[in-house]
């Protein structure tokens, strides 16, 4: 049976609803950072507790992405996506009402669990609703919205905290979530993956292994990388992930088919994504502090000065998505990494306690341009690298890898900063900032090199014509049959793209 052509209105609804939901989730990754000093004063929180206000969100978010994607494949992606909206909205109200750090940390963990259902499933819902030849543009819109959310978190958090109250950075999500839920249930088409079984053992091994690794990363900077709990976290996490790989190689219904990694496109985009988030998020973490602590800007003023970085993806990502439909995503992603590396390198070269904002501006613009070039083509590459029915779990893997990269980047760049500088004087802060930024540059250049391993679109088509077989990328360029199930509200039918 041929897949029905989705109406224009359903495509628009899918983009609007998934982008809005994931905007909330991505925004809450960083929105709390500029509110931490006020939260510390209001709740009498220690420095360690403030760290867990941030990391309490990151841990469940990173560790539950694979589980959420698998549950979407099994029980319906729209259904699990809607459940994520409910959990995230309720947890946001909980965080807004929190009167102690313990309650706030628990609420942030619940937010992370809800967000884990939103991010990977949004991509598969878009992929199911949008024709293959328009997905680059659709992912461009999605990428623009999420890029702005991630980068504007400090501005939004700083503005609301400065002019209203830190509680409202969480209250803001509640009316949005309440309005989203009925629309998600009525306006999104349902889709499922090919497997009817849920890999319980694989899910437990992957989630526990990721928890051990991410826990060790976020604690390494606080207690020292050689401390017993950090070493135990890395050791236990690595052992569990090795066990996960061994289990997946032998189970008949794996959570993550290891054959995904035979695709050079899938492997390259995941390695590159980890390195990009390592360099970008670690640098943003330090640069926002540089603007506030060293140059004396308020949280809102610092966020406004980051706008050339934060707004750029809104304009660049949709254009990058359209261009990627024509030429493929590989050159755009490589160009984006090199642009971000150039931007961070510029900021490292001009870094000085009394540097003018005009001198920093080119660095922010280049970084924003690069981020805009990354999001949409990277999503398209990922979706094209696997069969349509397996895009949910592929998205979960990719987002897990990115979150681990972001957490690792913040921890490692903060450690480099602490080893070479400190907060005692403006010059000492700058002395620590510069080598940390250069490490971020190195990670972004390495990400560009990793993408060179991915075959070009022309090469993929040439390989597809040899031996009568198609590569995964070629299957996306020349749509193959989809063995998944697509459901419009009230109807069920086979979901097959016309060959």
The position carrying tokens 């009525």 is 186
Q: Is the pTM of this model over 0.85?
A: no
Q: What is the pLDDT of residues 30-62, one digit of tens each?
A: 677 667 777 877 888 765 677 678 778 877 887
Residue 273: pLDDT over 80:
yes
**pLDDT for 6:** 55
SS (H, E, C) 104-142: HHHHHHHHHHHHHHHHHHHHHHHHHHCCHHHHHHHHHHH
- Phi, psi at 139, each rounded to 5°: -65, -30
DSSP lists the bridge partners of residue 191 as 486
Residue 489: pLDDT over 60:
no
**pLDDT for 281:** 79
Residue 393: pLDDT over 50:
yes
* Contact indicator for 332, 320 with CB cutoff of 8 Å: yes
CB-based burial label for 267 (10 Å; 0-12, 13-18, 19+): middle
Q: How far is CA 214 from CA 33, 236, 319, 409, 418, in A?
A: 19, 11, 34, 11, 20
Q: Average per-residue pLDDT in the chain?
A: 79
Sign of CA dihedral 198, 200, 205, 211: positive
The count of residues in the chain is 499
State the average pLDDT over residues 451-456.
80
**pLDDT for 316:** 84
Pick the more confident residue, 285 or 462.
285
Residue 471: pLDDT over 60:
no
Q: How far is CA 404 from CA 198, 241, 277, in A?
A: 24, 14, 8
State how far the Cα of 436 lies from the Cα of 348, in Å rounded to an integer. Answer: 9
Specify which of 57-61, 132-136, 463-467 reaches the highest per-range mean pLDDT. Answer: 57-61
């Amino acid at each position: 049976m041929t897949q029905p052509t989705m109406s224009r209105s359903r495509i628009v609804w899918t983009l609007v609803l998934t982008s809005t939901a994931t905007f909330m989730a991505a925004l809450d990754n960083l929105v709390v950072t500029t509110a931490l000093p006020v939260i510390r004063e209001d709740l009498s929180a220690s420095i360690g507790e403030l760290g867990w206000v941030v990391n309490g969100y990151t841990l469940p978010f990173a560790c539950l992405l694979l589980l959420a994607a698998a549950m979407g494949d099994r029980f319906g992606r729209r259904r699990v996506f809607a459940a994520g909206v409910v959990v995230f909205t309720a947890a946001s109200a909980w965080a807004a009402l929190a009167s102690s750090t313990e309650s706030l940390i628990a609420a942030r963990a619940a937010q992370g669990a809800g967000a884990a259902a939103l991010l990977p499933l949004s991509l598969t819902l878009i992929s199911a609703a949008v024709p293959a030849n328009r997905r680059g543009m659709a992912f461009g819109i999605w990428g623009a919205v999420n890029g702005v959310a991630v980068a504007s978190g400090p501005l939004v958090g700083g503005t609301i905290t400065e002019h209203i109250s830190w509680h409202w950075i969480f209250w803001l999500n509640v009316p949005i979530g309440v309005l989203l839920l009925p629309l998600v249930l009525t306006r999104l088409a349902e889709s499922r993956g090919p497997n009817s079984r849920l890999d319980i053992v694989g899910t437990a091994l992957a989630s526990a292994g990721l928890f051990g690794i991410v826990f060790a990363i976020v604690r390494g900077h606080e207690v020292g990388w050689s401390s017993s709990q950090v070493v135990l976290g890395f050791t236990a996490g690595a052992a569990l992930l090795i066990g996960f790989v061994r289990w997946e190689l032998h189970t008949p219904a794996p959570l993550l088919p290891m054959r995904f990694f035979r695709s050079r496109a899938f492997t390259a985009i995941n390695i590159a994504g980890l390195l990009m988030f390592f360099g970008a998020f670690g640098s943003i973490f330090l640069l926002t502090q540089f603007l506030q602590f060293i140059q004396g800007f308020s949280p809102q003023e610092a966020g406004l000065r980051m706008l050339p970085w934060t707004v750029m993806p809104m304009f660049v990502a949709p254009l990058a998505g359209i261009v990627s439909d024509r030429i493929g995503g590989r050159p755009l992603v490589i160009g984006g990494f090199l642009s971000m590396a150039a931007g961070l390198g510029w900021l490292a070269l001009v870094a000085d306690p009394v540097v003018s904002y005009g001198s920093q501006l080119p660095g922010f613009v280049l970084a924003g341009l690069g981020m805009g070039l990354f999001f949409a083509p990277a999503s398209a590459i990922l979706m094209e690298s696997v069969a349509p029915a397996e895009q949910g779990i592929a998205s979960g893997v990719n987002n897990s890898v990115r979150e681990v990269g972001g957490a690792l980047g913040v921890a490692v760049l903060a450690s480099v900063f602490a080893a070479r500088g400190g907060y005692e004087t403006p010059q000492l802060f700058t002395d620590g900032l510069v080598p940390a930024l250069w490490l971020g540059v190195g990670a972004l250049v390495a990400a560009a090199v990793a993408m060179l391993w991915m075959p070009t679109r022309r090469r993929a088509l040439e390989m597809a014509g040899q031996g009568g077989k198609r590569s995964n990328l070629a299957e996306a360029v020349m749509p193959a049959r989809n063995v998944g199930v697509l459901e419009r509200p009230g109807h069920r039918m086979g979901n097959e793209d016309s060959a």
